[in-house]
Structure 1
Amino acid sequence: MRMASEKSSATVPQPRAPQQKRGRDRVAALMAAASELFVEKGFDATTMTEIAAKAGAAIGTLYLFFPTKQAVAQAILAQNAEALSAELDDLRDRTQGMSAAAIADRLFARLGTFMAGHPAYSALLDLPGDDGWRRAMRGHRRSQIATLFAAADPPLPVGQAERLAVIVPQLMRIPLTLTGEKRLRDGVLEDLRLMLSRHLEAGEG
């Protein structure tokens, strides 16, 4: 596992980066256990002792790599943010020259799949933490989404592409509030996708 290089040390104690495979495997197990607990119980209700126990590790091992629970959460969020960035890069390569409406369809589908597969990302997204790193993360994500729409055929104006880069992540947050209601959540996501696609199609006409 690679620790995120863009993470600032101003407010969050830094995890100790493992040098050997055994250490990397331990960190991966600790982060996987923490991810499950954060989704199941929430960040505040989860304890470091529970994380270590779920990972089958000694509490000292957990503190060796992560000095605080906040550091565990930040590492998980950074790992998920990197995975999302890779998804958006791949989508850019696959959608160049498509209409803006078609790009919106594929973007919603990709983001929906990502959120379903990375529930800890949604659970930790609003957690207070390293504001500088979070601003950089959001800025990078917006730039990636704006680039998707700017490469549409016909291309969207830069200003509209930048606005969509703000609007789409906010729309995606709406169904995330419907925890435990998969059918309703999926329906809301589909309605949002159709709403944006039809709006963009109307602009193309």
Structure 2
Amino acid sequence: MEVLLAAAAQVFADRGYDAATTTEIAAAAQSSIGSLYQFFPTKEKIAQAVIGQQAQDLAQQLDAIAEASPGWDVPELSRRLVQALIEFRGRHPSFARLIDTPGVPAELVIGVRQSMRLQLARILAPHAPGLGKARLAAVAAAVQQVMKSAVALNADPAFDSAAAAKAALQELRDMLTAYLQSTLS
């Protein structure tokens, strides 16, 4: 099953959800289509399993940040959050293709996003003890979108050099840091 999920993740990363086929996934796993259907009767079920596995990895990464972050200052927190998502998306290139694509069950996508926002709120809470629950949830959603932008920026092929991409990414980190410093203090 792990081989099938790894193959599916690669096919989804390369082709996207809509263009990927179960035949391609089985071939990439060097498995028969019957074996694939034994575990996953539809492409949707395969996508759900891939997203579930990847979301679990993201949750573990954010849990580790939540444990360590109370001792960090805001610039360190910003740097680690942005870097964590860039590294996560680097390990799981199919995640964005699946989570941002119509056709994948909306309830799954919403659940993953809500879970991530709750974890971000948990990470931010020790840095903003005076922030109410609703405001903390809004800040977590904003941070989630900035982190998503950092991933897109990091992968943007329009940069003419790695140095230019790195400089733009630093600007985004600085923006997140300034936002968090003004919001959390």
TM norm. shorter chain > 0.5: yes
Q: 1:162 aligns with which of 131, 137, 156?
A: 137
Could you tell me which residue of structure 2 aligns to residue 147 of structure 1? 122
C-alpha deviation, 1:85, in angstroms: 0.6
Deviation larger for 48-57 or 163-172: 163-172
- In structure 2, distance between residues paired with 1:195 and 1:93: 24
Does 2:5 align with 1:31? yes
Could you tell me which residue of structure 2 aligns to residue 67 of structure 1? 41
TM-score of the superposition, structure 2-length normalised? Answer: 0.83
> For the Cα contact (< 8 Å) 1:97–1:151, is it kept in 2?
no
Could you tell me which residue of structure 2 aligns to residue 196 of structure 1? 176
Q: Which amino acid aligns with 2:72?
A: M
C-alpha deviation, 1:28, in angstroms: 0.8
- In structure 1, distance between residues paired with 2:169 and 2:89: 11
Could you tell me which residue of structure 1 aligns to residue 146 of structure 2? 171
TM-score of the superposition, structure 1-length normalised? Answer: 0.76
- In structure 1, distance between residues paired with 2:8 and 2:165: 25
Aligned partner of residue 17 in structure 2, secondary structure: coil
Does 2:73 align with 1:93? no
Could you tell me which residue of structure 1 aligns to residue 105 of structure 2? 130
Report the CA distance shift for 1:58/1:34 in structure 2 as closer, same or farther (over 3 A): same
Report the CA distance shift for 1:199/1:135 in structure 2 as closer, same or farther (over 3 A): closer
**Dislocated runs of 4+, deviation >3 Å:** 175-180, 182-189, 201-205
> For the Cα contact (< 8 Å) 2:85–2:151, is it kept in 1?
no
Report the CA distance shift for 1:187/1:117 in structure 2 as closer, same or farther (over 3 A): farther
Q: Which amino acid aligns with 2:98?
A: L
Aligned partner of residue 44 in structure 1, secondary structure: helix
Segments of 5+ residues of structure 1 without an aligned counterpart are 1-26
**Percentage identity across aligned positions?**
33
C-alpha deviation, 1:137, in angstroms: 2.4
| Bigger proportion of residues as helix | 2
Aligned residues: 178
